[in-house]
Amino acid sequence: MGVYIIGEIGINHNGDLSIAKQLIDAAVAAGCDAVKFQKRTIDKVYSKEMLDSPRESPWGHTQRAQKEGLEFGKKEYDVIDSYCRDKGIAWSASAWDVDSQIFLQQYDLTFNKVASAMLTKDDLLETIAAEKRFTYISTGMSTIDEIDHAVAIFKKYDCPFSLMHCNSTYPMIETDANLYMIHTLNERYGCPVGYSGHESGILVSLLAVAMGATSIERHITLDRSMYGSDQKASIEPEELKELVAQIHLTEQILGTGVKSLSDAELAVRKKLRG
């Protein structure tokens, strides 16, 4: 099986289902395997003090207005679920609280996802791992001890998982990628390791594939100039197409590791060796 490619829509839909559909369409056109969203129960994830604090956004003047403006509920996710099935692409969402994970259980998701910010939330990890559904676990902003602890929970439940190397800066400076961590995580935990990136461009993601990443997740947007905290750490539809094409080319370039002679090389051998 080739590299699994996830287009992270996240909250880049800006609360607009038509934008979400356009982003799904972009992921399908590019050849992604899946798209991913984010799900929060606002009053569980954030404190009242934080939600009451000021923040200017298209939805109002408080943090609550902004957070609620970005949140999809059952009506929207029912549409997303149906739309993705019609388009032949898998979807999932990273839950930021237990209630949100329970909400997602009503859908037949291909995989679960633990966001880097949630890696230390034991109650959420236990809820996800108990499903025994294949789970991608992002490791940004985490220490090795914290990753050890999260992995132990998934192993306790015998839940299949892949770690995803990640640097949680938005956008990430390319030289901060530290891609040798792909090998470090693989050797330490004996599991498949992917890469979740927030950098500009596609070079780091391609190098991650060359380093052995089994999955690539990138934030996607219709336009980086749109409103939103994740837009500038995202790639646009044409870049996404290029990324997917270059990932497949990179896989072909890496080959099988088995020494063999192609017909073209055999012809040269015959000419030069007689």
- Domains by residue range for the chain, with CATH: 4-273 (3.20.20.70)
d(CA 185, CA 142): 12
Report residue 152 CA to chain centroid gap.
22
Q: For residue 274, what pLDDT band results from cuts at 50, 70 and 90?
A: confident
d(CA 199, CA 181): 16
Quick one: which of 127, 68, 66, 65 has its CA closest to 94? 127
d(CA 151, CA 246): 31
Burial of 190 (0-12, 13-18, 19+ CB in 10 A): exposed
Range of lowest pLDDT (58-62, 88-92, 270-274): 270-274
pLDDT digits (tens, 9 = 90+) for 234-245: 999 999 999 999
